[in-house]
Structure 1
């Protein structure tokens, strides 16, 4: 996750688009001569009320302080001219484009597409295909030639010839020579929409009708259909792969096999995960991971093993991924989520898919009904004369007379659009390889595309006017982006680079950053009293932990495990009965394990060095600088709160 969208997400908890309004609109406070009204304050507060976890932020007096602080920072940003930055302008445009997507939707069509996609996601299809390449802008002659070719192949397939052999012989998909057209299993959104339609509308064992995509003509044979695997919850034990500089490159594999052997001997998976797993985020929880579905992890090997486990508590054999060695235990299998749970995700995918063309077509139709528009036929005739057959060869250029042409081709409501824009549009379309003939028909088609583009542009330009909700959010994004740039300049970078200031802050707060009591120790564990007694005897003779393991782990049975390192009080790998004193402990039992701990050194509770707590310290220093900065801004700007108005707002918000 990049920091800017994340920061803006947090910012929107303070300044989000909420649309509840107070009954009246009054000036709540001013900063210099700029007024801020009760409507904005109440709208933002209501939106955030259920989002904030800090109860102090729900208090209206506290919230007003936060809101004024936020507006002071925005005023400072404008005073510094940050709004004129080209980078800022580009990012604001990008955010607006993203936000505007919601207003280019057709709810009815989108809902139908969501339902269709969700129903398809219940299944995974295994299919093979044969492709005959033909460009989507190919000439009618080339298109017909390709169609006849695929038509002949589909006849042979329907007459019983082996589909795989036909794919290997005739398919123009380069991979067909290797896979004989077999694409494996896939579900919705994995293939282009036209191809997906063919696959999901064809029965198992059958060959589809000929279908056209932007790649060419396809026929699809459905080899198998299976239910979607859904999601799984698993726990794992991980031993990181060896580093290049490690002397014993085989140690991780040896260790994971030792752990697996102990599981086979009946020891608890969760206890072993806590002791030995090197995934520090999951080991304290017995190796438990958050649930995931196909394609959500960065390791395909891990996913395949996880999904292959059939019943809760099934445990895999050790296997290797790109990250190291793992053992996986199945906790629970989850069916695919409900449609309501997946709705937003599906809608986002539809917007990036060929399905979106249905939504675009619907929007074009609505905009043609929504706005009044008129084409000047005389101007259009003049422009058409300037477009020549050179267009088909991508060699057409606008004539000299067109450069200064100012004739109005199109009027949308009160907006006038010059004919030169249409010529520019035609010029760009040369790269699309359009082959429609005669030329007059091509020009008419290009004009219809141009009209839709201009209507959409007009609609986009007027979103703030037509939709107050959109205007609210854009205002807040505009300020939020400025605030991010300002905070980066005034607070975050300073906290990172001000070494003298950070050192001073550390000196004054260092007792808030303490190590608990720690020990440098070796922990030996076994489920067998006889084994741990032998280990204790060897430990008392100063035998090296590895030597103890070599002596006691015989006949491919792991009887003893050793863990050496520095352990802080409360560490899940450190037995609770451990005494923080130098020496070798007696044997003690916790759960199903017998332990012996040799403490080589006791490290009492101590202040962490600046480097040891740098991450947390920098964060605290940023907060300290920000509070001081807000106090300074209150001196730099003249803030006046209308207390009478504020009291009325409080009664309205908390009757």
Structure 2
């Protein structure tokens, strides 16, 4: 079965900008008196001219037939009511949501953020920080206490006290007692955006100004700045650090040194990793770790050794980290990509990052300038009286009486938004309650947020009117999804279940499904000629191919491979020069491999059975059903082509 994604991409090849109409247009054809216009046909034809592979589709007469067939199917889908199906409606809505995202993006701001992020990715910053915790929605009094506490700490540092000592004593980051606030090296997109800003805007050796994140208030000190080392893929062998109660405290070190000696003796790193590495997550993969960048692992020692290797295949000496002893092998270095290569990735990261707030704020500002909106302050004041202090504890329940639910509280252009909609908005906002007090002031703040939400909604509702290209693509999706459902119902499901029809189709077309001459054979292959010779000798003694494989291969070394199957003449798997006749062939060589083939059975060319060609035949049957189905649709619907108009179109297109 064709996937929906692939089907839609093919369908859109036919329908691309199918509804883009200009002022100059004539009716080319009608289906049950519904008109379809010349400009639509011409535009689709010209757009697809370089894309279609079938030369017949460039023939305007055939292309018109194809286009009419497409429109007939869409009409049939509507006649069956497929457009009313809930699954169809949900999927269309999902497509629209995805497509609309592009129209909610401020391109200028996004490009600036991409460039900023990429420029920052060229560097790695080593920083320490001090955190004073404060809830994101804390009341102003608590916020001020936290701020002043950190202000005092910063002043002490500026007067000469050591940043690291105060971090260990006073930072409310739980890890600071052990690491003295040291965060190691990091680059862009590794920290929350306000933290990243402070790190990249503070000169090396200096302490930042106080800044706030969702965790609380911070200051940081930039200890070092270096070029970004990119990413690296390595394999490692690890022996775990001894526990205090272990009798032999030197076992891990002695073991890693023995392993290193075996590597120097020529034994394979990967095999030793599988046998001896105590990192169980990577041992089975020959010690290979996922690629990583600076600051991504919990061990700076490990990262420095890994990035210090320069040649692929280079192996480090044993070294110690807080986790144990390691030997590292360089698999690949991954430099920082170009801006063009990283653009899609960066755009995705921006969408998930606090940076996206800049884009949202820019859109809100643009929509407030774009649309006229009118606040109903009197109605807002009446609503504010309905909200109690229970709101701060998320216990407020929207009243059902005492207000006019249909009274307008906001007007956007010509759209009136009623009071009930705002009250429902207020009820939902309790989950992220703002600490603004009193409650009347809080309602005003949330009303401002409500205005932005309604402006967004109005903008979204009118995308088709404001952006013709959005409307065109939505029409493509709409018809394409309908067509997929229709084809599934009328063609694909039928071709799978209509066994009698398929068998009848097979009997009428079986001369098109033929086997070439075939052999049932076993192919022996090895990089060692003597192994092929031994295999042939064993064959002559009556030993089966599977037993030959068992005899010649050992636990650690695979000397010979076998491939037993039925092969058709011309199959690329067959060694060059293989004769399709009974018996064992002479030894041949191709590249580094030696081959011998034992042919057990020769089958002449002939017609394939239904089961042998079922997959290909089913596809052909689907095409057969579709072609005859279009003929049936032409009988079901009245199609009238304006031949004079079509001749004019042909002349213009040629």
TM-score by length of 1: 0.74
CA distance in 1, matches of 2:552, 2:164: 61
Distance 1:430 1:378 in 2: 23
What is the Cα deviation at residue 636 of structure 1?
0.5
1:235 aligned residue:
none
Superposed, 1:33-52 pairs within 5 Å as 33-52=33-52
Paired residues for 1:529-544 under 5 Å: 529-544=529-544
- Are 1:227 and 2:209 an aligned pair? no
**Residue 12 of structure 1 aligns to a residue in which SS?**
helix
SS of aligned partner of 1:436: coil
Aligned to 1:519: 519
In 1, are the aligned partners of 2:410 and 2:416 still within 8 Å (CA)? Answer: yes
Mean CA deviation greater in 52-61 or 365-374: 52-61
Q: In the TM superposition, what are the counterparts of 1:288-307 in structure 2 within 5 Å?
A: none
Distance 1:18 1:555, change over 3 A: closer
Q: How does 1:112-511 map to 2 (within 5 A)?
A: 112-120=112-120, 134-144=134-144, 166=168, 171-172=173-174, 192-197=192-197, 212-216=212-216, 226-229=228-231, 338-340=338-340, 342-344=342-344, 346-402=346-402, 404-511=404-511
Q: Give the deviation of 1:2 after TM superposition.
A: 10
What displacement does 1:153 show?
8.5
Deviation at 1:637, TM superposition (A): 0.5
Deviation at 1:9, TM superposition (A): 1.9
Aligned partner of residue 599 in structure 1, secondary structure: strand
Q: Deviations over 1:6-29 (max 9, x none)?
A: 322221111123797667211111
- Residue 635 of structure 1 corresponds to 635
Q: Compared with structure 1, are the counterparts of its residues 391 and 649 closer, same or farther at alpha carbon in structure 2 (3 Å cutoff)? A: same
Partner Cα separation in structure 2 for residue 566 and residue 637 of structure 1? 53
Provide closer, same or farther for how the CA distance between residues 85 and 537 of structure 1 changes in structure 2, counting only shifts above 3 A. Answer: closer
Contact 2:211 2:217 in 1 (8 A): yes
Structure 2 residue matching 1:227: 3-state secondary structure: coil
Aligned counterparts of 1:540 and 1:345: Cα–Cα separation in 2:
61
Distance 1:522 1:3, change over 3 A: closer
Structure 1 window deviating more from structure 2 (517-526 vs 448-457): it is: 517-526
1:244-284 per-position Cα deviation (integer Å, ceiling 9, x unaligned)? xxxxxxxxxxxxxxxxxxxx99xxxxxxxxxxxxxxxxxxx
Distance of aligned partners of 1:97 and 1:182 in 2 relative to their CA distance in 1, 3 Å threshold: farther
In 2: Cα distance, 1:602 partner to 1:166 partner: 82
Counterpart contact for 2:131–2:171, Cα < 8 Å: no
Partners in 2 of 1:384 and 1:425 — Cα distance?
13
Report how far residue 90 of structure 1 moved: 2.1
Which residue matches 2:75?
75
Rate the CA distance shift 1:14–1:333 in 2: closer, same or farther, 3 A.
farther
Task: Tell me the distance in 2 between the aligned counterparts of 1:521 and 1:231.
Answer: 43
The number of aligned residues is 572
Structure 1 residue 652 displacement after superposition = 2.8
SS at the partner of 1:519?
A: strand
What secondary structure sits across from 1:138 in the alignment?
coil
1:577 is matched with: 577
Structure 2 CA distance for partners of 1:544 and 1:101, relative to 1, 3 Å:
same
Counterpart Cα distance in 1 of 2:508 and 2:165: 77
8 Å contact kept, 1:540–1:584: no
Q: Is the 8 A contact 1:19 1:469 kept in 2?
A: no
Task: State the Cα RMSD in Å.
Answer: 4.5
- Report if the CA contact (8 A) 2:389-2:439 is conserved: yes
State the secondary structure of the residue aligned to 1:386. coil
Contact 1:524 1:563 in 2 (8 A): yes
Indicate if the aligned counterparts of 1:211 and 1:218 stay in contact, CA closer than 8 A.
yes
Q: 1:463: Cα distance to partner?
A: 1.8
CA distance in 1, matches of 2:309, 2:562: 30
Residue aligning to 1:565:
564
Q: 1:590, CA displacement in angstroms?
A: 2.5
C-alpha deviation, 1:79, in angstroms: 0.8
**CA distance in 2 between partners of 1:519 and 1:154 (Å):** 84
Larger mean Cα displacement after TM superposition, 571-580 or 539-548: 539-548
Q: Does 1:24 align with 2:35?
A: no
Deviation at 1:611, TM superposition (A): 4.0
Whether the 8 Å CA contact 1:511–1:607 is kept in 2: the answer is: yes
Quick one: distance in 1 between partners of 2:178 and 2:47? 56
Q: Which has the larger radius of gyration?
A: 2
Distance 2:66 2:177 in 1: 65
> Greater shift after overlay, 445-454 or 460-469?
460-469
Say whether residues 1:59 and 2:59 are aligned partners. yes
- Structure 1 distance, partners of 2:12, 2:442, is 48
The answer to whether the 8 Å contact 1:588/1:595 transfers is: yes
2:531–2:560 contact (8 Å) kept in structure 1:
no
Q: 1:6 aligns to what?
A: 6
Match of 2:277 in 1: none
Partner SS state of residue 449, structure 1: helix
- With over 3 angstroms needed to count, the CA separation of the structure-2 counterparts of 1:618 and 1:334, relative to structure 1, is farther
Shift of 1:628: 1.3
Equivalent position SS for 1:396: coil
CA distance in 2, matches of 1:310, 1:204: 28
| Aligned residue number for residue 290 of structure 1 | none
Residue 579 of structure 1 aligns to a residue whose secondary structure is: coil
What is the deviation of 1:466? Answer: 1.9
Cα distance in structure 1, aligned partners of 2:150 and 2:520: 73
Deviation string 1:521-578 (CA, Å, 9 cap, x unpaired) is 33333445455444433332233446656666689776x4131311524444431122
Quote the offset at 1:161 in angstroms: 6.9
Contact 1:124 1:226 in 2 (8 A): yes
Map Cα deviations across residues 279-334 of structure 1 (whole Å, 9 max, x no partner).
Answer: xxxxxxxxxxxxxx969xxxxxxxx9xx999779x799xxxxxxxxxxxx99x988
Deviation at 1:446, TM superposition (A): 0.5
Task: Please report how far the alpha carbon of residue 442 of structure 1 lies from its aligned counterpart in structure 2 after TM superposition.
Answer: 1.4
Is the 8 Å Cα contact of residues 121 and 228 (structure 2) preserved in structure 1?
Answer: no
Matches of 1:162 and 1:397, distance apart in 2: 50
Gap change, CA 1:349 and 1:612, over 3 Å in 2: farther
Quote the Cα distance in structure 2 between the aligned partners of 1:513 and 1:163: 82
Query: What TM-score does the superposition give when structure 2 sets the normalisation length?
Result: 0.74
Alpha carbons 1:20, 1:42 under 8 Å: kept:
no
CA change 1:435–1:554 in 2 (3 A) is closer
Q: Deviations over 1:364-391 (max 9, x none)?
A: 1111111222212222221222222111
**Matched residues in 2 for 1:131 and 1:520: separation?**
74
**Range moving further from structure 2, 502-511 or 208-217:** 208-217
Residues 132 and 217 in structure 1, CA contact (< 8 A), matched pair in contact too: yes
For residues 396-424 of structure 1, the C-alpha deviation after alignment (integer angstroms, 9 at most, x for no partner) is: 22334445433222222222222222222
Deviation (angstroms), 1:472: 2.0
